[in-house]
Structure 1
Amino acid sequence: MDPIIAATHLDPYPYYASLRADGGLSFHQGSGLWVASSARAVAAILAHPDCKVRPAHEPVPKAIAQGAAGKVFGQLMRMNEGERQRCPRSAIQPGLELIDAEAVSALVRARLISPSADGLRKAMFMGPVCVVAALLGFSPTEGRATSELTADFVACLSPLSNQAQLDAAHVAAERLGGYFVERLSAGDNQSPLLEGIRQRLADHDTLLANLIGLFSQTYEATAGLIGNALLALIRNPQLKGEMQRDPARVSDLLAEVQRHDPSVQNTRRFVSAPCEIGGASLKPGDAILVLLASANRDPQLNDNPDTLILDRPTRRSFTFGADRHQCPGQALALNIASATLGEILTRNIALDQLAWEYRPSLNGRIPLFTELSEAQP
């Protein structure tokens, strides 16, 4: 195993523990990356001003730099620093914080979730984007269309994507931008969330890019959160009955799953100036693989970290980032996932009849479910 492919390994956590035992921040010869695995090292790197989200020489990946997806990528707040990060964040975060959890639940309940592996896949990937689309004022039909386009767009975020997928991502970026242009020009005030963001973010291109970013961030991270919670129920069958008897416990499960088995296993930082972190001397151009999932399991961060504890009194997690790049949509993602998982449980889907494998990724841990009968030769 190596620290990159660990994200989709059946159980990467013993390997992460071995990395922490090596000091928490060390150079991995095979990948040419510094690897931060301890809570102390991860916290220091996420907070350090000289550890940037993109390398200075390549603010946009070369593979997409000349297309529409690259234009969006280059203006996403999560891919920028300084004012280019703070300005869109300050425009988007206030509205996300005002979204009512019951309103989210009502939007989730309005969608039909079929009791099958295909139904689960749609609930995990398409459903959350449809919820965000509705909050932004789109109709159900438009929500379905934008969720399908988002599925194509997120390919531009993965170095594993082939040229056909990247070409589709460029098309999706253009079409998603078109949907938002139409919604913004409607002037019907159907979405207080969208209207508030528009008023706080004047630059048109930055506005469009980060609205698309809301969809793309929702798509993968929330899908993995829902999927890994389902895996927790499969691995701990007694929890399913507990959730069905007391639906309020679903939120407790999601809160612990995002720490214990997160959908985002790692992120990267790029050193922009000489600095010393955790006793290691880093130089400009160095790349750091930041193992968020390993830090979550560090005994220095959480007691008894390898155990799934729903009533954990002082839960600490790096899953949604930290400091200036902490995800502003954490509460919304957890609310969507909680409502979706609750609806899945009301349909009493036979989880023991599901097979699964992880979606190919270098940083995401997102299970894809199939019917057990289909998975067997």
Structure 2
Amino acid sequence: MTVAPVPFDLTDPALVADPYPAFAVARAAAPVQWDERQGLWLTFGHAEANAVLRDRRLGRIWSDRTPTERFESFNLIHRNAILEMEPPTHTRLRRLISAAFARGHVERLRPWVQELADSLVDSLVERSAGETDVDVLSGMAEELPVAVIAELLGVPAADRPLLRPWSNAIVKMYEYGRTTEIEADAERAAAEFVAYLRELAAERRTTPGEDLLTHLVTVRDAEGDRLTEDELVTTCILLLNAGHEATVNVSGNGLLALLEHPDQLARLRADPGLLPTAIEELMRYDSPLQLFERTATEDVEISGVTVARGQKIAALLGSANRDPAVFVDPDTLDVGRADNPHISFGAGVHFCIGAPLARVELQASFGALLSRTSRLELARPAPRRPEFVIRGLQELPVVLTGR
């Protein structure tokens, strides 16, 4: 079949600012298209993106960044990451991580997460009394998920300010159009992160606690298998990076969407029981992760297009989540949307292992904002981060009043 040319550039600032109109045009032209600039296939439709995520012939095949001597630590934390593995290695690692998670860590933290969310909102209200506006992104959206993941793993409070800068530097490596400075910063952050977690894991071996890191250090499966040192460190970094980046950006993107749709914000205030469905809708409406790559291990046909063995194909999650073939009025924000098969958490064997924790955090933070304020308005336009793959804001200035 003839595939229409890709009508946009993933590094174009206009596309980064608002990719959804361009997605709609491309999706209508052809659900799978070749991007000559990046050398990979792009899927725009929900069915096609879902197939990319679920088809076992399309795998996460990690190749070390080169030159390898420049990216020693960055390569280490990806070479051993569950997100970059396929069965049977993936199956083994996920089984061990799931066994550690099964100790009830998410439910253990639920009351603590709500208390933290309440206190962060109260702090924003206090600050707003003497200021024109406050930044919800730095004052809450960034603080809460980092604190939660750190508490989950047992990272000492004094060390927690280190985590987000490390994560921010590392995830910039997933973007297109990187500079050598960005790459150097990512490797430096990865090296410092690895060294820190090796030391913390060593402490847990001699002084165990009730945290997830202790359980990851000690977990064994029925065959007596356990995580290697590199797998342990990599798993902690993945949980810290993926575990808060998505939540931060759902919080920012989602609150901005509500502020830009005051009728939906009012609807949610009037009926707090809609909060769980509203969280799913906010993840669908403006996806925190826009692109997820896979590599064909053999020739695979997706919607009439043959992806040759060795070629890359990407699921455009934000485009899939706006597909009119699946979602009624997809460009409309509807906090009561009940039929919502969004794929913001992925699908298949790589479905986000931290999804239950993310939902606890998001329900706590949005619930606190709704219940502890009487006024919540956008103070001025919220600037976006200049990256496409991980979609988020630089700041979210709001005017709010406590109840």
TM-score (structure 1 length as normaliser)? 0.86
SS at match of 2:30: coil
Aligned mates of 1:164, 1:28 — CA distance in 2:
27
- Amino acid in the other structure paired with 1:86: T
Indicate conservation of the 8 Å contact 1:354/1:369, yes or no: no
2:144 corresponds to: 127
Aligned mates of 1:157, 1:163 — CA distance in 2:
10
Shifted more, 168-177 versus 252-261: the winner is 168-177
Picking from 30, 43, 46, the partner of 2:53 is 46
1:184 corresponds to: 204
Aligned mates of 1:3, 1:184 — CA distance in 2:
47
Query: RMSD over aligned Cα, in angstroms?
Result: 2.9
Paired-residue identity, %:
23
Picking from 226, 246, 264, the partner of 1:239 is 264
1:89 corresponds to: 94
SS at match of 1:310: coil
Indicate conservation of the 8 Å contact 1:129/1:219, yes or no: yes
Alignment of 1:240-259 (within 5 A): 240-259=265-284
Aligned mates of 1:194, 1:51 — CA distance in 2:
31
- Amino acid in the other structure paired with 2:197: G
Aligned mates of 2:82, 2:373 — CA distance in 1:
38
**Kindly tell me: are residues 183 and 307 of structure 1, through their superposed partners in 2, closer, same or farther at Cα, counting changes over 3 Å?**
farther
Aligned mates of 2:87, 2:302 — CA distance in 1:
21
Residue 343 of structure 1 deviates from its aligned partner by: 3.2
Residue 134 of structure 1 deviates from its aligned partner by: 0.7
- Amino acid in the other structure paired with 1:342: G
Residue 265 of structure 1 deviates from its aligned partner by: 1.2
Unaligned runs of 5+ in 1: none
Indicate conservation of the 8 Å contact 1:6/1:12, yes or no: no
**Kindly tell me: are residues 281 and 172 of structure 1, through their superposed partners in 2, closer, same or farther at Cα, counting changes over 3 Å?**
same
- The answer to whether the aligner puts 1:150 opposite 2:167 as a matched pair is yes
- The answer to whether the aligner puts 1:194 opposite 2:194 as a matched pair is no
Indicate conservation of the 8 Å contact 1:117/1:369, yes or no: no
Indicate conservation of the 8 Å contact 1:154/1:169, yes or no: no
- The answer to whether the aligner puts 1:15 opposite 2:25 as a matched pair is no
**Kindly tell me: are residues 343 and 323 of structure 1, through their superposed partners in 2, closer, same or farther at Cα, counting changes over 3 Å?**
same
- The answer to whether the aligner puts 1:315 opposite 2:320 as a matched pair is no
Indicate conservation of the 8 Å contact 1:232/1:257, yes or no: yes
Aligned mates of 2:227, 2:36 — CA distance in 1:
45
Residue 72 of structure 1 deviates from its aligned partner by: 1.0
Aligned mates of 2:333, 2:66 — CA distance in 1:
41
**Kindly tell me: are residues 357 and 242 of structure 1, through their superposed partners in 2, closer, same or farther at Cα, counting changes over 3 Å?**
same
SS at match of 2:248: helix
Aligned mates of 2:263, 2:188 — CA distance in 1:
43
Aligned mates of 1:108, 1:372 — CA distance in 2:
17
1:298 corresponds to: 323
SS at match of 2:167: helix
Picking from 231, 234, 241, the partner of 1:206 is 231
- The answer to whether the aligner puts 1:76 opposite 2:93 as a matched pair is no
- Amino acid in the other structure paired with 1:355: P
Deviation string 1:245-281 (CA, Å, 9 cap, x unpaired) is 5544433322101111111111111222222222112
Aligned mates of 2:396, 2:335 — CA distance in 1:
27
Aligned mates of 1:171, 1:130 — CA distance in 2:
22
Residue 103 of structure 1 deviates from its aligned partner by: 4.0
1:2 corresponds to: 8
Deviation string 1:133-188 (CA, Å, 9 cap, x unpaired) is 11222333233333443334434444535244224323432343245324523534
- Amino acid in the other structure paired with 2:388: L
Residue 353 of structure 1 deviates from its aligned partner by: 0.6
- Amino acid in the other structure paired with 1:168: R
- The answer to whether the aligner puts 1:25 opposite 2:32 as a matched pair is yes
- The answer to whether the aligner puts 1:168 opposite 2:188 as a matched pair is yes
Residue 62 of structure 1 deviates from its aligned partner by: 2.3
Unaligned runs of 5+ in 2: 1-6, 221-225
**Kindly tell me: are residues 317 and 119 of structure 1, through their superposed partners in 2, closer, same or farther at Cα, counting changes over 3 Å?**
closer
2:386 corresponds to: 360
TM-score (structure 2 length as normaliser)? 0.81
Indicate conservation of the 8 Å contact 1:5/1:362, yes or no: yes
Residue 299 of structure 1 deviates from its aligned partner by: 2.3
Picking from 57, 62, 70, the partner of 2:66 is 62
Deviation string 1:16-75 (CA, Å, 9 cap, x unpaired) is 1222222311223344321111122112222222212236xxx23226664222211211
Alignment: residue pair count: 369
Shifted more, 335-344 versus 130-139: the winner is 335-344
Shifted more, 320-329 versus 361-370: the winner is 361-370
Shifted more, 364-373 versus 211-220: the winner is 364-373
- The answer to whether the aligner puts 1:276 opposite 2:293 as a matched pair is no
